[in-house]
Structure 1
Amino acid sequence: MSNLGLQIRQAASSVDPIVADYTVGYVQHIIKSTEDSVLSQQLDIPTKVEFLRGMLISAGGDSKKVEKLCSHIESTLVDRLKKNMAKLKVEGDTSKRLLDASLLSSHERDDTSMTFLSSSVDVEHIGRQMESKVDKKKLKKAEAKIARKMAKREDRYVKYEASKLINEQKQDDYDSFYLKVNPLDVEETGGRSKDIKIDSFDLFVGDAQRILMDASLTLAFGHRYGLVGQNGVGKSTLLKALSRRQLDIPKHITILYVEQEYTGDDSLVLQSVLDADVWRKQLLVEEQKTNERVEEIEKLRKEFEDGSPEMKKLDTEQDDLYQNLEKVQERLADIESDKAEGKAAHILYGLGFSEEAQNRPTKEFSGGWRMRLSLARALFCQPDLLLLDEPTNMLDVPSATYLAHYLKTYPSTVLVVSHDREFLNEVATDIIHQHSERLDYYRGSDFDSFYNTREERLKTQKREYENQIAYRKHLQAFIDKFRYNAAKSREAQSRIKKLEKLPVLLPPEQEHSYQFKFPDAEKLSSPTLQLLDVSFGYKPEELLLNHVDLDLQMDSRIAIVGANGCGKTTLLKIALGELDPTGGSVYKNHNLRIGYFAQHHVDALDLSQSAVSWMGKKYPGKTDEEYRRHLGSFGITGSLSLQKMALLSGGQKSRVIFASLCLNNPHILVLDEPTNHLDTAGLDALATALKNFKGGILMVSHDVHMIKEVCHDILYSEDGKVRKFPGTMDDYKDYILEEADSVGVVKRH
């Protein structure tokens, strides 16, 4: 397949060069996979070739020619795989060692030397017979020792496939899944450590995609770890593997993972939180059944005489029941079952559920509120290891503030995936950085400390790399100049040896970075956008907004904060003209252009189209190349801009929307939760772009760090009023905690 690029161009002459290059690279990757002892055993060649077939045809290829090409590729790959599998049977299966093929290749031994060591006959050496000097007994003993080491290593190196149990919780009901992960009958834990240490494991997901290699996970009990890294490195996969005990966590350590919204039903919110603690629920049921059986026995005793066999049998059963009841009640006392309802109510209130909302059926709440309910259920259970995946994405600033405050006093271990800097700065005692298939620990660090340390480390690595490159170039220049100079030949040979002995030099790791840029529009005369004495209610008798004034100019930087459901998004829609106020008026400059980022921005995308096609229809007038260049400046590079947007990640879809906002040169940006789905690099790029934007900004966001970076004024929505807050975001968070403290939800420290 040396002429694969030419064959592709012949089969699909109109295909974009980037797609052609991608296809060549993809096939080369499959070829390497057929040679890998781990990957080859899980390689599904027909599926991969089918993907290539669909991509080339959708890119404009002739279906018959593409079919012929793909059939040739498939048959070649299958033959190659069969040969490699046959070779694997001869050489032995090394897949359980979980070493990368590239590492194995660097430690290959010559076949002849292997034959020599294992040979039991004399060998020829330079034309004459030599008797083997190998001590066969010692060799056998050494081989047995190596076999024991390998067996011990295989016990440690276990392959975990996070995809195996991904749907297990969906198949089982919550109670049975909870008890499967956290068995109630586990032996007593008194005096047993709840630290977690998992050495030397690999983690795979999906079609042999490796997430971690030879990694070690160490979690000290009582610490709160922030797990950070770019989107797509497998942070959520690691959490799922932990939550299902695919990794070797001691059975006495309880685990709970908040990963999806609660499925609503007729149960009341408060009761659903109480039911989340399955141990308490099971113990209460057992207590009730035991008491009922005791009452039945008391009635039966009246039917038999003392000393009769029936009475003795009842006495024995009653004694057993009393012993069991005592144990059950001790367990209930240990978990403070009698205080459970008050604890659940406090957690729910802190997350935004009023007393009235706590007594409503869960099915009446939207997805965002059900996600909060999932979070409340996990906090109520208080497992030894609490796993949270982007917990602030569905929370407003008050609820996120409460959650951070609650977790700061959480008595057990927390492992949280988040891109919210402010949240991690408050919560995390340590940072774990997942990248390049490994885990790096920054102990005693919040996010800012980690970020600064990481930046300095990268700068140092870059300087060392550049110095090494310069040194190598210096040696090479001398060698090139004096290699054939008789007087300097010895020095040149010395430098050649020195250059050969230098270790393999790898460039320092570079984090992906993006540079968003919003174009500057022409100035507009004041007023630009005004809301005067605006009131609004979806029902005339229930006003959501009451007598609100808002003045947005081209130099404005305004953030609106408040609890979910208080009318923040509604206010934005009134400003945009999507909703008409029931009272008051809205004034807009007739030349005003607004760029709007909706909270549910995916709804605005046609996911069946590529980003280039969608932008071409929505904002016509440019060539495909211009759209691709523009998308590239927002991190949608290469083939990403040409594939269906349904295949893009949440963060990539967000970047497509940000790119589209620029195409009408807006005077004002109206942003509703713009930080969702963006990783750290994306958040940094967005903050920088917004700070450099010359127009006005009106933002609703739960990301405190973004608000601090971009906005000058804070409006808080409460009880139908929207007022300017007289202070900073830190002052507003203190105000939230004081309000919660006034009703007994939090305790101030």
Structure 2
Amino acid sequence: MGTCSEYIKRIFPTIDDDLKQYVEGVLANGADDFEDIEEVYEAVGEVLQEVSADKTEEDIRLICGKLLEIMKPNKTRTNNGPIKILNAPVHLGSIVDNSDNTIEEIKSIWVVQRDDSLKVDSRKLEKAQAKLQEKQDKRTKEVKYVAPPKLQTASASQVTSKKESKLEAKGNNRTQDIRIENFDVAYGDRVLLQGADMTLACGRRYGLVGRNGLGKSTMLRMISGGQLRIPSHISILHVEQEVVGDETLALDSVLECDTVREELLKKEKEISASINAGSADPELNSQLTEVYTQLQNIESDKAPAKASIILYGLGFSPDMQQRATKTFSGGWRMRLALARALFSRPDLLLLDEPTNMLDIKAIIWLENYLQNWPTTLLVVSHDRNFLDAVPTDILHLHSQRIEAYRGNYEQFERTKTEKLKNQQREYEAQMQQRQHVQEFIDRFRFNANRAALVQSKIKMLEKLPELKPIIKEVEVVLKLPDTEPLSPPILQLNEVMFRYNAERVIFSNVNLGATMESRICIVGDNGAGKTTLLKIIMGILYPTLGMRNVHRNLKFGYFSQHHVDQLDMNVNSVELLQQEYPGKPTEEYRRQLGSFGVSGDLALQTVSSLSGGQKSRVAFARMCMGRPNFLVLDEPTNHLDIETIEALGKAIQKFTGGVILVSHDERLIRMVCNELWVCGNGSVSSIEGGFDEYRKIVEQELEAAAAAK
């Protein structure tokens, strides 16, 4: 029986030990009396089928045949029953005559005899099946969230006027304005926009705003991908993917975007080569003159300087501009993609969160550069200061529609607030009027003398436009954990120096400290060592020289800019917290998620189906469930909408522990920070005058660099 046992274990490696013993017991008890595959299948087939759902009935029958072969290697079998070898001819007539005496003989020839003791114990089988079913249900329940989420795709429908369709078909549509009318956008089963309209006037800069998950980024992708149609002669560039790294130099990668210039230079090179090779074609000189004229008209000689200015503004030093694109990280390649877009100047430029990849110096440069953008710009951003500096118009996406407002974000907020107040007043006034008229109708409904007046009042009510109450967007509230006070000193860095190798010193002679009341913001260029400093503060990295002293009860809560990408995407938010902090009631996990705005069905959705901002809130909830008393936040505003950033600022203000923050969001910095640390030039120093002073220094540096160019 050992051979059968080994075969079963090999074919069914996940079989439960109890079931394995049960199958072995059935086979052992009936080993001598199993005559064919059918009998083996009837005995253990159903049990084996339950163990392996991926095997067909035919597969199980073959396995049963192999088991029979192992038990009876020399037995001749057939699927139709055992073969009986007769010693002499059988005379059926005489058998019938002596049927009473020979009934047992007939049975021995034609009837397959089975001992009832060899049948499967029905109670044991039922018990085994129940256990299997229980395991199967448990496995199904576990797979519910582990299985990869079903991919959903965005879809759009749009109504186009006959006039525009005819102009487009004839190629006579030369307007630079863009009108996308009466369009719907859905993501899977969820409707994002319905019957929406959007107009983009040539030369204006639009900021597209709205809560996380409403479809802003989806709409940009649909415009660039052609699902939402715009006039075909309008060139579109959507900065979404990083530049592919190869041997091309960063500066050349930007210059390549000017295809007209590239073609003319290529043509000039070919004609010059032909002339130098001694070609006698008289047309070559005139063609070369024409190429030079065209190059002069497009100011080709100024293109390298323009490209260099854009790259420098986005943080590329002269040395970096001469490096191959493959040597840059993903963040720098995204900057390179942005530089290419700014240099090529399409008719419609689409930017999705362009400030996420930039430091404050690059953001200030980009704000100034885009204020003189000559063509149409549509940008999605949650940087409040950027939206105040760049857009001429705001498009507000809410309630499955788009509303346009003139002015920057600050003007939009004022106008929207006043508009909502007026709509609320109008609604309340109409409700009072309706109530007054209804009272009159109810009072004199059965008064014959006033019947005509009552009828006119009823008609008047019917003609009144139906106003709906103003539904305010739910205010975002984030709740950070309460902490117990700690006696100073809390955190101190003394004469700290850090270097990755003998040549590359990140910073040295750092002498800084923090308390439980600290609200410190760290700023500086990308690569200046901001994240390295945070890791030294938390003890993840050790200083090369110097001392780090922290209070023994100090408990850090670390929010990394990569935390959102590192979440388990195949589970829901409740299960995510269960993995990190096991053993607590489900209500506690849900309460924790609710304090960061992830409540109701949202907490039961797989993390992969959440928007970027919702994933950030889940990451915050996970960080705060450990009840830290000192928060270290590295770029926490990436993916958050304006309302959530505002809520984060208010939560930090109320937090009773210490906070060190790395951020490029000027609004948040001004809202919470009382101390500014600047990383750069191999040192970290506290700056007097706060962010205003730092911004002044940055703008002076940019002006000096522009003057030098």
TM-score of the pair, normalised by structure 2: 0.72
Equivalent of 1:397 in 360, 364, 381 = 360
Equivalent of 2:348 in 385, 401, 420 = 385
Native 8 Å contact 2:632 2:661 kept in 1: yes
Q: Give the aligned partner of residue 630 of structure 1.
A: 592
Q: Give the aligned partner of residue 631 of structure 2.
A: 669
Residue 535 of structure 1 aligns to a residue whose secondary structure is strand
The answer on 1:239 being equivalent to 2:202 is no
C-alpha distance in 1, partners of 2:294/2:430?
63
C-alpha distance in 1, partners of 2:345/2:468?
45
Residue 452 of structure 1 aligns to a residue whose secondary structure is helix
| Cα distance change of structure 1 residues 62 and 737 upon mapping to structure 2, 3 Å threshold | closer
Cα drift, residue 516 of structure 1: 0.7
Native 8 Å contact 1:200 1:215 kept in 2: yes
| Cα distance change of structure 1 residues 154 and 253 upon mapping to structure 2, 3 Å threshold | closer
| Cα distance change of structure 1 residues 486 and 586 upon mapping to structure 2, 3 Å threshold | farther
The answer on 1:584 being equivalent to 2:565 is no
Native 8 Å contact 1:701 1:707 kept in 2: yes
The answer on 1:334 being equivalent to 2:305 is no
The answer on 1:409 being equivalent to 2:372 is yes
Native 8 Å contact 1:200 1:216 kept in 2: yes
Cα drift, residue 220 of structure 1: 3.6
Native 8 Å contact 1:559 1:698 kept in 2: yes
C-alpha distance in 1, partners of 2:176/2:135?
52
Cα drift, residue 380 of structure 1: 1.8
C-alpha distance in 1, partners of 2:541/2:164?
65
C-alpha distance in 2, partners of 1:733/1:59?
62
After superposition, the C-alpha distances for 1:316-371 in whole angstroms (9 at most, x for unaligned) are xx43x555544443332233211222222222122111122222221121111111
Alignment of structure 1 residues 435-474 onto 2, 5 Å: 435-443=398-406, 445-474=407-436
Residue 422 of structure 1 aligns to a residue whose secondary structure is helix
Alignment of structure 1 residues 288-307 onto 2, 5 Å: 288-295=269-276, 298-299=278-279, 301=280
Residue 411 of structure 2 aligns to a residue whose secondary structure is helix
Alignment of structure 1 residues 238-257 onto 2, 5 Å: 238-244=219-225, 249-250=230-231, 253-257=234-238
The answer on 1:741 being equivalent to 2:703 is yes
The answer on 1:223 being equivalent to 2:194 is no
Cα drift, residue 418 of structure 1: 0.8
| Cα distance change of structure 1 residues 240 and 595 upon mapping to structure 2, 3 Å threshold | same
C-alpha distance in 2, partners of 1:647/1:725?
42
After superposition, the C-alpha distances for 1:585-637 in whole angstroms (9 at most, x for unaligned) are 11111111222111101254222221111212323453212321331232212
C-alpha distance in 1, partners of 2:178/2:228?
10
C-alpha distance in 1, partners of 2:700/2:521?
21
Q: Among all aligned residue pairs of Structure 1 and Structure 2, give the percentage whose two residues are the same amino acid.
A: 48
The answer on 1:514 being equivalent to 2:476 is yes
C-alpha distance in 2, partners of 1:661/1:480?
60
| Cα distance change of structure 1 residues 367 and 458 upon mapping to structure 2, 3 Å threshold | same
| Cα distance change of structure 1 residues 737 and 290 upon mapping to structure 2, 3 Å threshold | same
Equivalent of 2:575 in 596, 604, 613 = 613
C-alpha distance in 2, partners of 1:428/1:579?
42
Cα drift, residue 424 of structure 1: 1.6
C-alpha distance in 1, partners of 2:336/2:657?
39
C-alpha distance in 2, partners of 1:463/1:616?
47
- The amino acid across from 2:405 in the alignment is Y
The answer on 1:554 being equivalent to 2:535 is no
* Bigger Rg over Cα: 2
Native 8 Å contact 2:180 2:229 kept in 1: no
C-alpha distance in 2, partners of 1:404/1:200?
30
Q: Give the aligned partner of residue 433 of structure 1.
A: 396
C-alpha distance in 1, partners of 2:433/2:255?
66
The answer on 1:503 being equivalent to 2:503 is no
Native 8 Å contact 1:97 1:153 kept in 2: no
| Cα distance change of structure 1 residues 462 and 665 upon mapping to structure 2, 3 Å threshold | farther
Native 8 Å contact 2:168 2:231 kept in 1: no
Q: Give the aligned partner of residue 270 of structure 1.
A: 251
Q: Specify every segment of 5 or more residues in structure 2 that has no aligned partner in the other structure, as ranges.
A: 1-133, 145-155
| Cα distance change of structure 1 residues 233 and 155 upon mapping to structure 2, 3 Å threshold | farther
Cα drift, residue 467 of structure 1: 3.5
Native 8 Å contact 1:227 1:433 kept in 2: yes
After superposition, the C-alpha distances for 1:493-539 in whole angstroms (9 at most, x for unaligned) are 55544433333332324334311111321111011111121111121
Native 8 Å contact 2:159 2:181 kept in 1: no
C-alpha distance in 2, partners of 1:732/1:237?
36
Residue 731 of structure 1 aligns to a residue whose secondary structure is helix
Q: Give the aligned partner of residue 645 of structure 2.
A: 683
| Cα distance change of structure 1 residues 206 and 612 upon mapping to structure 2, 3 Å threshold | closer
Equivalent of 2:385 in 401, 422, 434 = 422
Alignment of structure 1 residues 137-152 onto 2, 5 Å: none
C-alpha distance in 1, partners of 2:236/2:289?
27
**How many pairs align?**
563
Cα drift, residue 727 of structure 1: 2.1
The answer on 1:563 being equivalent to 2:525 is yes
C-alpha distance in 2, partners of 1:381/1:274?
9
Residue 564 of structure 2 aligns to a residue whose secondary structure is helix
Native 8 Å contact 2:210 2:216 kept in 1: yes
Native 8 Å contact 2:613 2:640 kept in 1: yes
- The amino acid across from 1:398 in the alignment is K
Cα drift, residue 258 of structure 1: 1.1
Equivalent of 2:315 in 335, 338, 352 = 352
RMSD: 3.5
- The amino acid across from 1:500 in the alignment is E
Cα drift, residue 671 of structure 1: 0.5
Alignment of structure 1 residues 353-372 onto 2, 5 Å: 353-372=316-335
Q: Specify every segment of 5 or more residues in structure 1 that has no aligned partner in the other structure, as ranges.
A: 1-56, 68-94, 100-149, 159-186, 302-313
| Cα distance change of structure 1 residues 417 and 644 upon mapping to structure 2, 3 Å threshold | same
Q: Give the aligned partner of residue 37 of structure 2.
A: none
| Cα distance change of structure 1 residues 614 and 251 upon mapping to structure 2, 3 Å threshold | closer
- The amino acid across from 2:199 in the alignment is T
Native 8 Å contact 2:212 2:612 kept in 1: no
C-alpha distance in 1, partners of 2:568/2:259?
43
Cα drift, residue 373 of structure 1: 0.8
Native 8 Å contact 2:521 2:669 kept in 1: yes
C-alpha distance in 1, partners of 2:619/2:537?
20
Equivalent of 1:701 in 649, 663, 672 = 663
Q: Give the aligned partner of residue 113 of structure 2.
A: none
Native 8 Å contact 2:592 2:625 kept in 1: no
